[in-house]
Structure 1
Amino acid sequence: MLPRIVVAGNGQLGQMLQQAGAPMQLKVMPVEPNQDIEVALHADDVITVEVEHWPDTVTGLQLKNHPNFRNASALHAVIDRQRQKSLLDQLQVPTAPWVDLDSEASLTEKLESLGERAVVKRRRGGYDGRGQWRWQRGDEVEAEWAETCIAEAMIPFSHEVSLVGARNAKGEKVFYPLTRNWHENGILRASVAGLDVPQEQQDSAEEWLSRIMDDQNYIGVMAMECFVVDGKLLVNELAPRVHNSGHWTQEGATISQFELHLRALAELPLIKPEIKGVSVMYNLLGRTWKTEWLGIDGVHVHWYGKSLRPGRKVGHVNINRPTLAQLEESLKALKELVDDEDRIAFDWSLEQL
């Protein structure tokens, strides 16, 4: 008998986990943790997450205290950037130089120890460009940064990549190839997968993510974002869940990251997905889509059913084709049908091919 998978969070990731579970008759139940009611949980439910943290509400505590709540240790380590960076240092996983801004008196001194420029980040939250500030030598410092933030040296990276992998309770692990990503104002705009990746980078990333997942006895999918600096990787951030940069796997791999996550949690066979051709994932930010897009070969629209708001992720589009030439053809056709301000994502994607 397969367990029911209960997801803490009822956004698009929970929705896509439900979709991935349906063909296997695996029931997936997203639950909003930020509410003061008890939900009907079963003793054999397995609890996973689509969000890293939530308040100690009645529902939130019920989920956290369930005996089959998975990855509590990893969540504790990752939700606070100071703890996350300390874990990476402890496991000898390379990152950009960083400091904990734990004293107002030493703010300027600590920031200047990182060089001419730094990025200040809230220890908790602050994703998609929120809760982050750019600092350079000579700038004023903000008192609120003390004891609530860390700072990282600004790294002159050539591009960004991410690794998505999964581990089951037996310690077996599988990985997708490194995915190339483009962020604008801290928000992921597009990803390209299926490009040639230097084997040294792939090997290093898999070794580091394996080290992290093994240390935390992690079960499920985890993502690791990296900067590429002079051909070498520096780890930027971890996500203990399915991740936006892995959405291309829905059409671009024989097993999506969502199915892989469920397989690990439900103790189903964990096999390495095969990659199908080349893919681009394009995020829809605060805008709707057009039915004409579906007339282009390889285009798949995933709509989240959210209300529109500037900068809000309301859906994504996967474009998957067998060859680079065919992918380029589809990207150029779709570029002519999107809004002018979104064409920059297609320009970036085409430059990567």
Structure 2
Amino acid sequence: MSASRQPVLGILGGGQLARMLALAAAPLGVNALVVDSAADACAGQVAPLVKADWTDYAALEDFARKVDVVTFDFENVPAETAQWLAERVAVFPNPRALAVAQDRLAEKTLFRECGLATPEFMAVDDRAGLDRALAVVGAPAILKTRRLGYDGKGQFRLKTMADADAAWAALGAQAAKHGLILEAFVPFQRELSVLAVRGRGGDFRTWPLTRNWHVDGVLSMSLAPAPDIDTLQPRATELARTLAERLDYVGVFALELFVQEGELLGNEMAPRVHNSGHWTIEGAHTSQFENHVRAVLGLPLGDTGARGLSAMFNWIGELPGPAPVLRGVDAHWHDYGKPARAGRKVGHATVCAPDAATLAQRLEALGKALGREAQVAPTVEALRRG
């Protein structure tokens, strides 16, 4: 990297995460260059965008020459593409970490190797294999594609053994392509995530645990710091550190967790900045996006402490009118610049407060103003219970 020019961060994928990475990079004097197969990817509204497929090696060769380091907007970039680029330019997180996170079977196996308990699971390769797995795992259970699933996609919930045929009809065609995994359904009490960052020199930090609520497999709201997590934070930090060191990970990642009878169970790992960490933009001393840029470029990491309490609304399908949010105290609006579409993440809002009572009051008022009382109710209840 020449001292006479600004460093350039290459981002594979041009969605809202790339958009927010580019926005976080600019104040650090870092330019961004994005690659996506869609010419209208929303990150292209804030950074130069190269339209190219993941196997367009001529375009990727030119991209590699223009950037100082490469990172990811989402985990479904082919590991082969990441490895090809890693032979030409620094790539963080490394292709091995990406490959493990792309395969639910490899991911769950790694969790157990690192001391993180998981729901029972078993690989499924054919219809008979589903019956064998059900005999071991039992029902209720969830049949998932091992690869390419996110936000509830590529999943079928089996309430009883009798649902095996319907599950196979829904996902069986994916078995030969990507493999399937059957996971026991967990009657968890809470869903949490720990956002962590590891620098190129090994410096490691976590943000406070975040409590999450999902609707139809898609994140609806997040609350941070999660209430009543004093005993869980050290364990979550220890597990995240073990994973990061095992993978020689550089950058931000999210470890999604279930809480069952006071114990943490591993659900998934996202090798990138994560939806449940969007609250850090206004609610932490250093956002997940800024710290990811710092980490992959070898800059010192920033403080991951919370400034107070924060709650994040996810906008799915279409954006509500921003006025009720913008009238709020310490409330922040994010429009991703994406056309409305059913099931699509199109924006978020974050509300901050110095204490739980104030945040509950602000959320309740905002829920009424937006006509989203049901969305905010679980978060308000959690705040008031403490």
TM-score with structure 1 length normalisation? 0.93
Say which SS state the counterpart of residue 164 (structure 2) adopts.
coil
* Greater fraction of residues in helix: 2
Name the structure 1 match of 2:30: 26
Residue 282 of structure 1 aligns with an amino acid whose one-letter code is F
Q: How far apart are 1:321 and its partner, in Å?
A: 1.2
Q: Which range moves more in the overlay, 324-333 or 184-193?
A: 324-333
Name the structure 1 match of 2:375: 345
* % identical aligned pairs: 37
> Segments of 4+ in structure 1 off by > 6 A?
59-62
Say which SS state the counterpart of residue 27 (structure 2) adopts.
helix
Residue 21 of structure 1 aligns with an amino acid whose one-letter code is A
Name the structure 2 match of 1:88: 111
Compared with structure 1, are the counterparts of its residues 274 and 55 closer, same or farther at alpha carbon in structure 2 (3 Å cutoff)? closer
1:178-225 residue CA offsets vs partner (Å, 9 max, x unmatched)? 100001111000000024443331111111111111011110001000
Residues 104 and 146 of structure 1 are in contact (CA less than 8 Å); yes or no, is this contact kept in structure 2? no
Write the mapping of 1:168-187 to structure 2, written as runs, cut at 5 A.
168-187=199-218
Say which SS state the counterpart of residue 337 (structure 1) adopts.
helix
1:301 corresponds to 2:333: yes
Structure 2 stretches lacking a partner, 5+ long: 38-51
Residues 166 and 221 of structure 1 are in contact (CA less than 8 Å); yes or no, is this contact kept in structure 2? yes
TM-score with structure 2 length normalisation? 0.85
1:320 corresponds to 2:352: yes
Q: Which range moves more in the overlay, 176-185 or 322-331?
A: 322-331
Identify which of 7, 13, 17 aligns with 2:11.
7
Residue 120 of structure 1 aligns with an amino acid whose one-letter code is L
1:107-158 residue CA offsets vs partner (Å, 9 max, x unmatched)? 2121131122101110111211111001122223314364521011011100
1:116 corresponds to 2:148: no
1:264-295 residue CA offsets vs partner (Å, 9 max, x unmatched)? 11111114323111110000011223232201
Structure 1 stretches lacking a partner, 5+ long: none
Q: Which range moves more in the overlay, 60-69 or 225-234?
A: 60-69
Residues 225 and 309 of structure 2 are in contact (CA less than 8 Å); yes or no, is this contact kept in structure 1? yes
Residue 288 of structure 2 aligns with an amino acid whose one-letter code is Q
Residues 15 and 30 of structure 1 are in contact (CA less than 8 Å); yes or no, is this contact kept in structure 2? no
Identify which of 259, 266, 273 aligns with 1:235.
266
Q: How far apart are 1:105 and its partner, in Å?
A: 2.1
Compared with structure 1, are the counterparts of its residues 29 and 44 closer, same or farther at alpha carbon in structure 2 (3 Å cutoff)? closer
Q: Supply the distance in 2 between the matched residues of 1:195 and 1:129 (Cα, whole angstroms).
A: 23
Name the structure 1 match of 2:306: 275
Residue 192 of structure 1 aligns with an amino acid whose one-letter code is L
Name the structure 1 match of 2:47: none
